[in-house]
Structure 1
Amino acid sequence: MLKITAIGNLTHEVELKMNEATGKPYAILRIASDRRYKDKDGNKLTDYISIKVRGPLAERCAAFAWKGCKLAATGDFETITFADDPQRQPGFLIKASDVEFLSPRKAEETAQELEDESVREVAA
């Protein structure tokens, strides 16, 4: 079995969708990862990788990931074809079994949690 781990920054906000056949949530994440080297003209090279997350993992990504955050996704390859454009080369995405959030939480979320905790302590 082939496993792959990709690390990069999320290019869009996570959009949670529902699978019509199963009724379970899923999302397609897209990350950008810069290569460690530049091309012959000195330009930085960036790879874009699509990641499919399902079920509770998709819900967790929708709740905690944001555009620009760094994450690591581990999973299997899934080949994708484009029925509407048969001339287009097949691609791949990662079917994630694990996603790790590598960016610190947003400052406003942390501040709100601290504020909520202090309100609970005062009320108690």
Structure 2
Amino acid sequence: MKLFLILGAINAGLAVILGAFGAHGLEGKLSARMLDVFKTGVQYHMYHAIGLLVIGILIGKWPGSTLLTGAGWAMFAGIVLFSGSLYVLSNTGISKLGIITPFGGLAFIIGWVLVVMAVIKA
């Protein structure tokens, strides 16, 4: 339970920091399109940081749920792959990184499906 609460809180804080950095540090340095890409990374980062917090709370309610544990790791992987690739892409312009982003999106989807399955099973 604590692990996903900690990961969720850390990632929520990082999303706020990165959002502020994007709004104040990158404006004027990135094209409008790349700034939007960065903002999308921040938005999904925060959504899934909250998802990690929810998973931590649910694990407290249903300890030992391997489905919830899998969901937490999938969401964390999604943050790294999806948001991380968008952060790097927007700042470097390396378009080949775009191939990684869908894997992060798939990890997010898997995470949410596992949450649904865990709730149904409980």
User: Which of the five TM-score ranges fits, normalised by the shorter chain?
Assistant: under 0.3
TM-score, normalisation: structure 1? 0.27
Structure showing greater Rg: 1
User: By percentage of residues, which structure has more helix?
Assistant: 2
